[in-house]
């Protein structure tokens, strides 16, 4: 379960302190058996994907072991800046200030790789009759000063939810999903309304929504599970919604899909370069599609 994450977070915090004390190398380390270890940490959205890549890469290159940890995109980027990782996985773009910090600590600008696309799905309980939802309505539900606090105000007769109140399930702020959702739905000038239920993992959001008839939540498309429904999304109220699917994410008609990134220290070399190249190869992209994401537009060539 993803409740392990805060432990990881503490581990990373301790690691950060340790790396501050003794200068850390930004190149892959060797393990006791003499093999190469690549440290890949970050996006919780991508943790299943990274895990699948790591397992399959073991078959391709048995001497290279890829260590995966989650924690959120922010954790990965912070780790890259502090120099305790080889690759950071992120479901949001690094900010200019973060790139500047990372450039300062590593001596070279981090290199960005778009490895795939993720459609962010909006989930409701399966008992909720709502058919589709628009970004405008989502902004009124999640945004500061938003007007939609009850399902009936959105024109939904949610009989399974006795109190009629919309329970907003969100993510903790170390999450790339959170940052992307905030920007896609509210833009850069409006805050999220406080008082949402903030979960620490993509899976937790779906699990909580599946147990809560009043809830609405957002998570990666790949995390759909029994008990929840992913809503078709439209940009404006009244327009027909587009369901989150491989095709709609790829052709851009689904309004909330986003790139997934890997970041390395400078231009990668050696094992790190080989691994990233492999994730972009046909084999790597097939694994990405099997896990539930959309292949990167430029990959596989």
Provide the binding-site residues for another protein, judged by CB under 8 A.
Answer: 1, 3, 5-6, 8-10, 12-13, 16, 20, 71-72, 74-75, 78, 81-82, 98, 101, 161-163, 165, 167, 172-174, 179, 188-189, 191, 194-200, 208, 211-212, 214-215
Nearer to another protein, 78 or 242 (CB): 78
CB of 222 to another protein, least distance (A): 22
Nearer to another protein, 149 or 291 (CB): 149
Per DSSP, the three-state class of 290 is helix
CB of 292 to another protein, least distance (A): 24
Q: Which residues pair with 38 in a beta bridge?
A: 66
CB 56 within 8 A of CB 21: no
**Under 8 Å CB-to-CB from 211, ≥6 apart: which residues?**
227
Say how far apart CA 268 and CA 115 lie, in whole Å. Answer: 15
CB of 41 to another protein, least distance (A): 10
CB of 276 to another protein, least distance (A): 23
**Under 8 Å CB-to-CB from 271, ≥6 apart: which residues?**
28, 36, 38, 61, 64
CB of 110 to another protein, least distance (A): 14
DSSP characters for 23-80?
A: PPPSSPEE-TTS-EEEEEEE-STTHHHHHHHHHHHHHH-TTEEEEEE-S-HHHHHHHH
Nearer to another protein, 181 or 254 (CB): 181
Determine whether 31 is exposed, middle or buried from the number of CB atoms within 10 Å of its CB (0-12, 13-18, 19+).
Answer: exposed
CB of 117 to another protein, least distance (A): 23
CB 192 within 8 A of CB 170: yes
Nearer to another protein, 6 or 129 (CB): 6
Nearer to another protein, 70 or 271 (CB): 70
Work out the angle between the directed axes of helices 176-186 and 135-142 (0-180°, nearest 10). 110
Nearer to another protein, 18 or 60 (CB): 18
């Amino acid at each position: 379960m993803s409740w392990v994450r805060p432990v990881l977070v503490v581990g990373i915090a301790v690691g950060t302190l340790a790396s501050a004390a003794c200068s850390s190398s930004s190149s892959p380390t060797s393990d006791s058996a003499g093999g190469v270890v690549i440290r890949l940490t970050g996006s919780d959205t991508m943790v299943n994907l990274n895990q699948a890549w790591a397992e399959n890469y073991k078959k391709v290159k048995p001497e290279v072991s890829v260590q995966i940890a989650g924690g959120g995109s922010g954790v990965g980027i912070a780790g890259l800046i502090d120099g305790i990782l080889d690759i950071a996985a992120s479901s949001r773009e690094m900010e200019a200030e973060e790139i500047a910090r990372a450039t300062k600590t590593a001596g070279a600008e981090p290199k960005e790789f778009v490895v795939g696309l993720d459609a962010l799905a909006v989930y409701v309980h399966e008992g909720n009759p709502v058919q589709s939802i628009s970004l405008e309505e989502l902004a009124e539900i999640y945004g500061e000063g938003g007007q939609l606090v009850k399902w009936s105000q959105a024109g939904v007769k949610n009989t399974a939810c006795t109190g009629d109140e919309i329970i907003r399930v969100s993510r903790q702020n170390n999450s790339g999903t959170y940052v992307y959702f905030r920007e896609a739905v509210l833009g850069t000038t409006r805050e999220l309304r406080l008082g949402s239920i903030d979960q620490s993992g993509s899976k937790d959001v779906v699990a909580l929504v599946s147990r809560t008839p009043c809830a609405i939540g957002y998570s990666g498309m790949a995390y759909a599970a029994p008990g929840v429904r992913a809503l078709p999304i439209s940009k404006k109220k009244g327009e027909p919604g587009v369901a989150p699917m491989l095709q709609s994410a790829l052709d851009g008609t689904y309004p909330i899909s986003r790139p997934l990134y890997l970041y390395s220290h400078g231009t990668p070399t050696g094992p790190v370069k080989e691994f990233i190249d492999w994730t972009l190869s046909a084999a790597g992209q097939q694994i990405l599609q099997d896990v539930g994401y959309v292949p990167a537009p430029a990959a596989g060539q």
